[in-house]
Amino acid sequence: MTPLARHLESIASERGFILTGFASLHRLDERAGFFSRWLAGGRSAEMGWLAKAPEKRLDPRLIDPRLRSIIMLAWPYTPPRIPDIDWRAELRGRIAAYALGPDYHDTVKARAGAVAAALAVARPGSVTRVYVDTGPVFEREWAAAARLGWFGRNTNLLNRHHGSYFFLAEILTDAEFDAPAEPYREHCGTCRRCLDLCPTGALADGYLLEPRLCISYLTIEHRGPIPRAMRPQLGAWIFGCDVCQEVCPWNSDAAAAAPVNDALAPSLADLLALDDDAFRRRFAKSAMRRAKRRGLLRNAAIALGNSGNPAAIAPLAAALASEPEALVRAHAAWALGRFAASDDARAALERALMREPDADARAEISLALDQTP
């Protein structure tokens, strides 16, 4: 490692990054065919930005011809450890641990920017571009190239000492850096826990993830109705999913040491009652705002329906009666249909059918009524 690289690694550590790596830029020829097939198969779904500028993703030098290297940084976050509760009895949802606290995009980018500033001081005139889950960059591929870890079967980047509970940031620069000669060895072995325990079967052999089956995609990026067949599979998840990380042996030590965090399991009834102003106040600085109010309340309605707890009927009926978003009303209707034996659920659905102006929501109400005796 060069003196400049060691200096930047020290600065990164002072700023809270747990891993720092370097690699020279080149075209990722080994990913070109896979990415082309991935896009052709429609796997970008509603994430249209992934299909933009594919060549820039494969070769970051096309972003700026002056760029020569990449500095990869890993920022840790606290692994999930939920309270010992019965979520069905208490009507509590689940959110992915990374979404807690201030939006990581802002926090991590500011810290990475400080490392880029240190490079500019040490090497005046340096060109730098800082990204955190933004821009046309294959983050995990470059993190692997910089020897931060290996691709796990769950498609996350894994590190022997830190598991996968970290965000990636990258600094593209015209400074010259090289990666260590030896790749980071793969350590998944014969373990298949992430594949076998994924609630929706989104993971497959060959390090493949089908986003359209992934709970994280469905609860965050997908904007319309959740496919009816998949709603029961979401369980209590209302924003993201940690299952493929929770079951990974390389994360077990970190998870065991993590503090219990009640915020990982918020009240579903409280969420379903949020109006626009309350949503903005609660999630203005959170990554959870990405799902938007209508998406988060849609997800909360599904989780209430999955709970099997009759106490969910009252908040669902209230949403069906007064919620301004048709998408949320439609999913509240589906959830009420899960309580087939309840007179209260049926009465709420019948009242809603008489006044529902939206065709899709009305169809959901009719289907829900067909499920009740």
What region, left, alpha or beta, does residue 277 occupy, with left being phi > 0 and alpha being psi -120 to 50 degrees? alpha
Tracing tokens 């990982």 back to the chain, one arrives at 264
Instruction: For each of the domains in the chain, give its residue range(s) and CATH number, in order of start.
Output: 3-77+98-173 (no CATH), 267-373 (1.25.10.10)
pLDDT (average), residues 97-116: 94
Residue 285 above 80 pLDDT?
yes
Banded pLDDT at 50 (limits 50, 70, 90): confident
Average pLDDT of every residue of the chain:
94
How high is the pLDDT of residue 181?
A: 84
Lowest mean pLDDT across 43-47, 115-119, 258-262, 268-272: 43-47
Nearest to 145 by CA among 248, 59, 38, 34: 59
What percent of the chain clears pLDDT 90, i.e. is strictly above it? 84
Verify whether residue 133 is a known catalytic residue: yes
For residues 166 and 251, give the distance between their C-alpha atoms in angstroms, rounded to a whole number.
11
Q: Which of 59, 133, 270, 344 is catalytic?
A: 133
Lowest mean pLDDT across 78-87, 192-201, 237-246, 303-312: 78-87
Instruction: Give how far the C-alpha of residue 109 lies from the chain's centroid of Cα atoms, to the nearest Å.
Output: 17
Give Cβ neighbours of residue 253 (< 8 Å, ≥ 6 apart). Answer: 163
Q: What is the DSSP letter of 163?
A: B
Span 318-353, pLDDT tens digits: 999 999 999 999 999 999 999 988 999 999 999 999
How many alpha carbons lie under 13 Å from residue 351 in its C-beta half-sphere? 13
Residue 250 above 80 pLDDT?
yes
Residues 15/23, Cβ–Cβ less than 8 Å: no
Span 137-175, pLDDT tens digits: 999 999 999 999 999 999 999 999 999 999 999 999 999
Instruction: Give how far the C-alpha of residue 64 lies from the chain's centroid of Cα atoms, to the nearest Å.
Output: 29
Residue 1 above 90 pLDDT?
no
Residues 301/236, Cβ–Cβ less than 8 Å: no
Maximum CA extent, the chain? 75
How high is the pLDDT of residue 66?
A: 97
Q: What is the DSSP letter of 220?
A: I
